[in-house]
Structure 1
Amino acid sequence: MKIYILALLLLVFQSSILIKNLAIFNFTPDFLVILIILYTLNHNLKGSLKFSLFVGTIQDLLNPTSIAFNLVSKTTLAALTYGIKNRFYLSDMLMKSIMIISLSSVDIAIKIFLTFLKTGIFYVTPKFLVYIFLNFLIFYIVQILNENR
């Protein structure tokens, strides 16, 4: 239950004016993507899918213009993370770095694809690299803080 409250708090923080003012090229890290990845690395598939469904649904309810974008992307991320965690030894920071960069790229690709299906516009910009870097940076900071505990 604590993780669901943390997800709600991160969603409020991510949506706040403070974090929007600190945005780089109008991109902020997606704390919820990082939370879903970290949760999935430490839990089973069923619990991870339930958690990602909750997070995606809440995000989509707060943004009524998107049609289940976050629901699809967050659930796919949980399933991919679970598949990766069972195939690779993820105690190495290099493997975790590759994983977070890859999964952030998948998150963007899913949202680009769903936007294309909805609007017919295929929008790709190099600024998405900033999003990937910010997610990697936040993930790396969380990992360092977690190892120092």
Structure 2
Amino acid sequence: MYPVDSSSEQQHIIDDFLQLWSSVTDKYYKLLCATDEEDVKNCEAIFLNLLHHVEEKLTKSTCEEKEGDFVIGKTFSVAECICAPWIQRFFVTLPYFRGIDFESEILGELPMTKKWMKAVCARESVIQSKCPEEEMLDAARRYYVSFVSPGAPGHL
């Protein structure tokens, strides 16, 4: 699914972005599955590094003729459709289980990524299809989290 008038250049941008995004989500899961604080810190550093690569991609794609807050400009593309549930999870699970304030601690140094994620989360279709936060937390407890970081408000 690409925008109907999508050029092959836009398709390439989306495909390239989603390839990077799969690494982000893989490391997010490793961060949730960490079993001690040292593992959390290592996974968090790699996760942050990958988000810096997202920042570079978003900055690069906005330098040309692109206007708007999404990967290919004003158009909400398949990239945003795929990324939206993950973004929502980041905002809910990382503070709860890892004590990481995702918005200030992570996105504070990534202005384009923050702008993009906020635009994705503000989209009406994303709001309407959002999984309830308690369901996100229950699923994370059930499948991924076996250790809660010191100082985090979460529980198993």
TM-score (norm 2): 0.34
Instruction: Specify the structure having the higher radius of gyration (Cα).
Output: 2
With CA pairs under 8 Å and 6+ residues apart, which has the higher RCO, 1 or 2?
Answer: 2
TM-score (norm 1): 0.35
